Structure 1
Amino acid sequence: MTNLEDWHERLRITSRWIEVDGTPTVPVTGEVHFSRVPRDRWEETLRLLVSSGLTSVSTYVFWGHHEPVKGEVSFEGDLDVAAFLDVADRVGIDVILRIGPWCHGEVRNGGHPDWVVAEHGDRARTDDAGYLSSVAGWYARIAEQVARFCGPTGRIVGIQLENELYDQPDHIATLKRLARAAGMSAPLWTATGWGGALLPPHEVFPLYSGYADGFWAGQGSRWDDSFRDHFRFSHQWDDPGVGGDFREDGLEVVVREVDPEFPPSTCELGGGMATAYHRRPIARGADIAAIANVKIGNGSAWQGFYMYAGGINPRDHAQESHATGYPNDLPRFDYGFQAAFGATGRPGPSLAPLREHNAFLASFGPWLADTFSTLPADAPVAVHDLDTLRWAVRGDGRSGVVFVNTHQPHEPLHPVPDVQFRLALDDGEIIVPDRPIDVPTGVIARWPVRLEVADVRIEWATASLVAVAAGDLPTLVLRAHDGIIPRIALAAGATGVVDGTAVDLDVPIDLVPGSLLEVDGALRVLVMDEDAIERLWFVDGDLLSSDAPLWREGEDLVARSASAPSLERWTGLTFEPVALQTASSPGITAVAVEQRREGSPPRTRYGSFMGRSSAPDDAQIAEVAALFRLDLPGDAEELMAGDRVELEIEWEGDVAQLRADDELIADKFWDGLSWCVDITRIDPDAELTLHVAPISVESAVDLDATAAARVAAAGQLCAVRRVRRVVTARWTAAG
């Protein structure tokens, strides 16, 4: 793979790392489903991925989206995978194509069209001759679209076969043969390795997962140990929890060790979480950041996030549901996934921590790739141990990074007093820091030890590595942690100046967020607090501070916002304002909401399947829902190309449907978060109505604790608190 088969001029894999352009690196991939994102947003989405630090994008090709009726295949409009690949090539981001034919991705039949289910039944996902004939035909149609992006210089650098298939290694090998025969190739052929999967040796690169929580857990279940496990450092990569809702009851998962032929890598670290009707977990930014940091500390060679940008199903009833035999009811349209970029493209809670994580890998990945992960003698801690400090080291014997995690959701880890690390390096033992510190709850850290940056050796620091920005002198950005003084020790003989004042670097010194340390006239060290770090973007070597998402197009910086963004560029000594302009008239206006019908008392359950509550159907919603009419401001004619119009809806209830002239265009299961709907394409003269089914303390659904407390306090919720029309525009700045 990548050597004798499907050689690629830029990418190569070894048993230790992935090499790009001859350099070991730690790539970062984010999942975006092109068929769930409007075509006119593809380029902006991919540019945002690049500006937030991704090196590749992964995307499913859902068979059921393209050929719902046998023989009627479409790659038109939002389904044009070749056009999506053209955009990726223009933007300069590599692609991992996940071709199934069974994908999951919370789509109907896992991606199999209804006619495939009807024709092949239980013989699907096997080497049955009839099923393989159908697959071969489908692969041929994909190849017609994507083959020109394969090959030694192509943007397709990976192809995933099937998904979450545990006991059919020969079938996966057959699928690879069929794909290659159809004309597809990639230097990396991958398959999901979690759940004790048996994979064909040497044929596919096993990739793993890690989610903070999951909608797929059973009704009334507690926070499962399979989720807890991702918040501790270990060298166990298999995950028995993901996809567990599809396995037979009582089937014990055999947790398998990593194949030593391949470096441990991931394709599905939770960048958010979908919402099922019966279970509605909240994915918070710190949860995503903690798992990403733990996986790197564990030795991950490739970070893949699912989802990185959410979307909307391309047609009604294309979702996973009880009606099609799935254990979970998903919304009919919404697939925002609480991702780094939501269904409308709006930044989500995980974007800022993932940008920081990706910036760290961009700056330190080439060094990090050639390191080993080491766990302390008393680790790994048990998943229910809330007291023992969770930490690991990645190093090369001469230097290293100490990874620390004291964050997890639902059951907070306890603060740990009087912490020092005793580390054995090639040239002797080092104790970090020089005096014990208390590590509070909620710390997600990457602390350097004897690490060289721009020929300056940092003995250690109690502030986290973020990235290195270019300039007349390189600037190392460190993140200070709430409750921990950022303290730094430099190599003997170093000279330094802090904010213009000479300091003695023969002893460790304390810094404060915002301070700038210059060392030996070779490196600047900028310490920033967590709020300031959340604004940082690293775009083509520039260090930028922005309150709006931004990307580069040619020589221009582009941001999207409903008001003038606050943008500053790091000069090497300070942040200076950057002026942006737009010819549009963006803004936020209130939407008048008229309640036309009160809601009725909801049922405890509208139905059930496999012990899980079923979502109400249209008739059941009509029976209990309150009805609200939305009166939009009449200024749609002022929109310009590139403008985006959203409805920002603050509501409470069980299920909401947004209808245009009584046609369902969007839906949502309430989880306590606000709801954004892209209405850019909607007829501005259409009558918009919101239909909200109430939720009560008797409703048999599992909510996040914060949302559950709101229901408990009120007894029953059914309201639209506020609706705003948000018009965002493109703002540009030179260079």
Structure 2
Amino acid sequence: MSNTVDPHGRWRLTNQYLECNGIPAIPVSGEIHYSRLPRTRWEERLRLMKAGGITVVACYVFWIHHEQTEGQARFDDNLDIAAFVRLCAAIDLDVVLRIGPWAHGEVRNGGFPDWVQDADVDHRTNDAAYLAMVKRWFNRIGSELQGLTGPDSNVIGIQLENELYDQPDHLRELKRLARAAGLSAAMWTATAWGGAEVPEDEVMPVFGGYGDGFWVDAEAPWDPTFRAHYFFSEEWDDPGIGADLRAHLSGGQIAPPTSISASYPPATCELTGGMATAYQRRPWPKGKDVAAVANNKIGSGSGWQGYYMFAGGTNPSDGLQESQASGYPNDLPVFDYDFHAPIGASGRLAPSFSELRKQHAFLAAFGSHIAPMPSTLPDRMPAGIEDSGTLRWALRSDGDSGFVFITWHQPHVPLPDYDEAQFRLALAKETLTFPLALLTIPSGTIARWPVNLDMGGVRLRWATASAMTLLGTDTAPVLVLAAETSIETQLCFPKGSTLNGPARQVGADVYAVDGTEPVTLTAKSRHGTLAILVLPAAQVNQTWVLETADGRELVLSTEPVWIGADGRLTGRSIGLPSVQRYSTTATRFETVKTAFASYGRSRQAVTAELIRAAKTIPSSFGSLAGRAAAPTDHVIDDLAQVYQIYLPVAALTGDGPTELEINWAGDVARLLVDGQVVADRFWDGSPWVLETTDVGLLHAKDIQLQILPLAKAASVGLTLEAQRRRDMVAGDLAALDKMELLQWTTWAEDRS
């Protein structure tokens, strides 16, 4: 695989790491579903993903989205998989296709069309009748993708099935059918969590890691399978993913964890990018909750960072979602699949985007160094998931140089500041202890500190700031470090080196840097010179590292920015943009001149008139497998409070994207346009953001919002913040706090 069978022109697989063009690399893949997005949104989402450090696009190919009626498969509009793959190639993004045929993805029947689900066959086995249906489907995919897979393609991976635990021979047969259909990839993969039996002679096992999930019971405490991901570990299996479906649909029990393979590097395809919202349990992972899991996986030796989801979306029509009506234990929203992803369904960026962007910039710059480096865990490890007193850290090193990874954050059970931290590293030729004095690591710290990093002929012995990226050239490099919040940035160099710039000496060859403004320093040794840019902690989340035709660029912007099709900096902002680019020659940030493609009116209040009060709400709408059922359409129509929505006409006539932001509280909300439900949401305390064009508001004559109150006794699990608001109300909870229209200004760099 990748080497002798289905060889690829760029990608090669080893048992320790992946290579791209002969250089060790750590791919970063992000899930996006083309069939859950309007085709007009594909390009901006993909360019945003790339700007966030994604190098590989992963996507399910949902059979039920394409062929709801047998023999009438559709590949038009947002189902045009070939056009999607070509667009990814044009943007220089590789692709992993997750072709199923069973996919899950919170989709009805796990992605099987109803006619497949209802067929008298043994599904997900080598039953000849079932395989005949799969063969026809794979052949159709192969026909659509003719010429788009193979050694020169950007399709570098194909995942077979999903969460298949005990059918290794079936995975082999699926691979045979896919290859016979003309599909080819450097890497064939299969999910290995839950103790799955994966035929390693045919597929690479891939893993996942979620810090929270909707699939545990509503009143369950923070599950150990989630908590484990907030520790560095040699364990890659997550037995909790899909455990509810396994128990409910097949009666199977969780198997012993799958050990990491000696034949493949540790690889992930489903690290938490956020979390879907089920009716009975509604997690809302915050930015650092997502970033902490990702940092732990890199520090633990990850050879492939893969996120689910990275860009949220919307189910294409009613009835395609996972639900109790289709035999699943959980009810999911009819349309909403925002997933609290780094890029939300409307295109709004979540805080997790900037948190992950820093890590991905690090991997892009230093991945060739890190990929071959094994992970070493400290002698003193946490005693268990309840241990909040032992520092969580790991070292990836080649024996001489490397990076110390620190993750001192977890949700639900906050960690205290860690006092008196100091690291003692037993390297091949020395024992290195740093920093000189004990320091305090604040709660919330997620860091990657370099050790014996050689750049430009200069060795940086250690630093108490995270390595972010490299700018400049091989002969004139600029090392960019990100200061940590409430930790003094200290740099140590070997004897004989000098450091020029605004830094003060605090010990032998150790210097401290003021962390309030960007600082450019120059380190010199008898072998060379290294420029070092130290970014203040307050500025790090505004930093974008973008790959351009002119090389890697460092840009400051609090709002979205990416590289357009013409190679210029492009973005959107609320009001006038404020964008700066770092000049390696002037050693400072300089303002980027911009020209407007459209100019928005920023935020405008939206008028909502209550036209019907809610009726009495029952405490339950039923249940399945002990889990609360969502209310039916009839119940919502009958019991919800209803608002008439009046949008400012001028706000809908601009050229730029416009969002409707709804801040509300209750149980279920639905937006109706001219009598049709176009969007829905289960309340979890987060704002509900909709792109106005995508939900048909541009030419709407009648817009209504339904909010079903949340019954005081309803058995639903909420985030701590949402539950606090619920507890403040004596009875049922229903409120419309505020509605606003946000008009984005779109711009591009003006090079005139």
> Residues 234 and 380 of structure 1 are in contact (CA less than 8 Å); yes or no, is this contact kept in structure 2?
no
Once the two structures are TM-superposed, the CA of residue 629 in structure 1 deviates from its matched residue by 0.7
- Name the CA distance, whole Å, in 1 between partners of 2:456 and 2:130: 57
- The aligned runs of 1:87-486 (5 Å cut-off) are 87-120=87-120, 123-248=122-247, 251-379=253-381, 381-470=383-472, 473-486=476-489
- Name the CA distance, whole Å, in 1 between partners of 2:491 and 2:218: 49
- What SS class does the counterpart of residue 601 from structure 1 fall into? coil
Greater shift after overlay, 673-682 or 181-190? 673-682
Once the two structures are TM-superposed, the CA of residue 279 in structure 1 deviates from its matched residue by 0.3
Once the two structures are TM-superposed, the CA of residue 727 in structure 1 deviates from its matched residue by 2.4
Greater shift after overlay, 716-725 or 702-711? 716-725
1:688-717 deviations in Å (ceiling 9; x for gaps): 100000114322110001100001012332
1:398-436 deviations in Å (ceiling 9; x for gaps): 112111111111112233221211111122111111111
Asked if 1:83 is matched to 2:83, the reply is yes
> Residues 303 and 371 of structure 2 are in contact (CA less than 8 Å); yes or no, is this contact kept in structure 1?
yes
- Name the CA distance, whole Å, in 1 between partners of 2:161 and 2:568: 40
- What SS class does the counterpart of residue 482 from structure 1 fall into? coil
> Residues 493 and 506 of structure 1 are in contact (CA less than 8 Å); yes or no, is this contact kept in structure 2?
no
TM-aligned CA distance change 1:504 to 1:244, over 3 Å: closer
Once the two structures are TM-superposed, the CA of residue 730 in structure 1 deviates from its matched residue by 2.3
TM-score in terms of structure 1 length = 0.97
Which residue in 2 is equivalent to 1:14? Answer: 14
> Residues 382 and 390 of structure 2 are in contact (CA less than 8 Å); yes or no, is this contact kept in structure 1?
no
- What SS class does the counterpart of residue 309 from structure 1 fall into? coil
Once the two structures are TM-superposed, the CA of residue 637 in structure 1 deviates from its matched residue by 6.7
Matched AA of 2:692: I
- Name the CA distance, whole Å, in 1 between partners of 2:184 and 2:254: 35
> Residues 209 and 226 of structure 2 are in contact (CA less than 8 Å); yes or no, is this contact kept in structure 1?
yes
Once the two structures are TM-superposed, the CA of residue 601 in structure 1 deviates from its matched residue by 3.1
> Residues 658 and 689 of structure 1 are in contact (CA less than 8 Å); yes or no, is this contact kept in structure 2?
yes
- Name the CA distance, whole Å, in 2 between partners of 1:453 and 1:216: 47
Greater shift after overlay, 278-287 or 435-444? 435-444
Residue number among 714, 724, 733 corresponding to 2:729 in the alignment: 714
Which residue in 1 is equivalent to 2:520? Answer: 516
Which residue in 2 is equivalent to 1:574? Answer: 588
- What SS class does the counterpart of residue 411 from structure 1 fall into? coil
Gaps of 5+ in 1: none
- What SS class does the counterpart of residue 234 from structure 2 fall into? coil
- Name the CA distance, whole Å, in 1 between partners of 2:536 and 2:723: 33
Moved over 4 A (4+): 501-506
1:631-661 deviations in Å (ceiling 9; x for gaps): 0111267333xx2222111111110000001
Matched AA of 2:107: V
- What SS class does the counterpart of residue 417 from structure 1 fall into? strand
> Residues 602 and 699 of structure 1 are in contact (CA less than 8 Å); yes or no, is this contact kept in structure 2?
no
Once the two structures are TM-superposed, the CA of residue 518 in structure 1 deviates from its matched residue by 1.5
- Name the CA distance, whole Å, in 1 between partners of 2:379 and 2:558: 43
- What SS class does the counterpart of residue 728 from structure 2 fall into? helix
- What SS class does the counterpart of residue 119 from structure 2 fall into? helix
1:140-177 deviations in Å (ceiling 9; x for gaps): 11111113111110010000000000011000110000
Once the two structures are TM-superposed, the CA of residue 475 in structure 1 deviates from its matched residue by 2.5
TM-aligned CA distance change 1:76 to 1:597, over 3 Å: same
- What SS class does the counterpart of residue 707 from structure 2 fall into? strand
> Residues 420 and 432 of structure 1 are in contact (CA less than 8 Å); yes or no, is this contact kept in structure 2?
yes
Once the two structures are TM-superposed, the CA of residue 201 in structure 1 deviates from its matched residue by 2.6
- Name the CA distance, whole Å, in 2 between partners of 1:229 and 1:187: 32
- Name the CA distance, whole Å, in 2 between partners of 1:561 and 1:148: 39
1:464-488 deviations in Å (ceiling 9; x for gaps): 1111122694322222222321111
Residue number among 613, 626, 635 corresponding to 1:598 in the alignment: 613
Greater shift after overlay, 599-608 or 182-191? 599-608
- Name the CA distance, whole Å, in 1 between partners of 2:401 and 2:75: 51
Asked if 1:494 is matched to 2:506, the reply is no
Residue number among 538, 547, 552 corresponding to 2:563 in the alignment: 552
- Name the CA distance, whole Å, in 2 between partners of 1:383 and 1:361: 28
- Name the CA distance, whole Å, in 1 between partners of 2:646 and 2:506: 66
Which residue in 2 is equivalent to 1:673? Answer: 686
- What SS class does the counterpart of residue 149 from structure 1 fall into? coil
Asked if 1:538 is matched to 2:535, the reply is no
> Residues 46 and 88 of structure 1 are in contact (CA less than 8 Å); yes or no, is this contact kept in structure 2?
yes
TM-aligned CA distance change 1:493 to 1:732, over 3 Å: same
- Name the CA distance, whole Å, in 2 between partners of 1:11 and 1:147: 20
- Name the CA distance, whole Å, in 2 between partners of 1:380 and 1:26: 28
Greater shift after overlay, 685-694 or 132-141? 685-694
- Name the CA distance, whole Å, in 1 between partners of 2:685 and 2:748: 34
Matched AA of 2:709: P
- What SS class does the counterpart of residue 190 from structure 1 fall into? strand
- Name the CA distance, whole Å, in 2 between partners of 1:677 and 1:594: 19
Greater shift after overlay, 294-303 or 45-54? 45-54
Which residue in 2 is equivalent to 1:646? Answer: 659
- The aligned runs of 1:606-621 (5 Å cut-off) are 606-621=621-636
- What SS class does the counterpart of residue 6 from structure 2 fall into? coil
- Name the CA distance, whole Å, in 2 between partners of 1:117 and 1:271: 30
Which residue in 1 is equivalent to 2:668? Answer: 655
Once the two structures are TM-superposed, the CA of residue 723 in structure 1 deviates from its matched residue by 1.1
Greater shift after overlay, 436-445 or 138-147? 436-445
Matched AA of 1:565: P
Once the two structures are TM-superposed, the CA of residue 87 in structure 1 deviates from its matched residue by 0.7
- Name the CA distance, whole Å, in 1 between partners of 2:505 and 2:218: 60
- Name the CA distance, whole Å, in 1 between partners of 2:541 and 2:506: 31
- Name the CA distance, whole Å, in 1 between partners of 2:720 and 2:639: 25
TM-aligned CA distance change 1:713 to 1:140, over 3 Å: same
Gaps of 5+ in 2: none
Greater shift after overlay, 149-158 or 474-483? 474-483
Once the two structures are TM-superposed, the CA of residue 73 in structure 1 deviates from its matched residue by 0.7
- Name the CA distance, whole Å, in 2 between partners of 1:250 and 1:243: 11
Matched AA of 2:653: E
Which residue in 1 is equivalent to 2:713? Answer: 698
- Name the CA distance, whole Å, in 1 between partners of 2:597 and 2:460: 48
1:597-629 deviations in Å (ceiling 9; x for gaps): 112232211111111001101111123211001
Greater shift after overlay, 231-240 or 413-422? 413-422
> Residues 423 and 435 of structure 2 are in contact (CA less than 8 Å); yes or no, is this contact kept in structure 1?
yes
Task: Output the aligned Cα RMSD.
Answer: 1.6
> Residues 382 and 391 of structure 2 are in contact (CA less than 8 Å); yes or no, is this contact kept in structure 1?
no
- Name the CA distance, whole Å, in 1 between partners of 2:728 and 2:638: 25
> Residues 517 and 524 of structure 1 are in contact (CA less than 8 Å); yes or no, is this contact kept in structure 2?
yes
TM-score in terms of structure 2 length = 0.95
Asked if 1:561 is matched to 2:577, the reply is no
Greater shift after overlay, 517-526 or 216-225? 517-526
Matched AA of 1:251: Q
How many aligned positions are there? 731
- What SS class does the counterpart of residue 619 from structure 1 fall into? helix
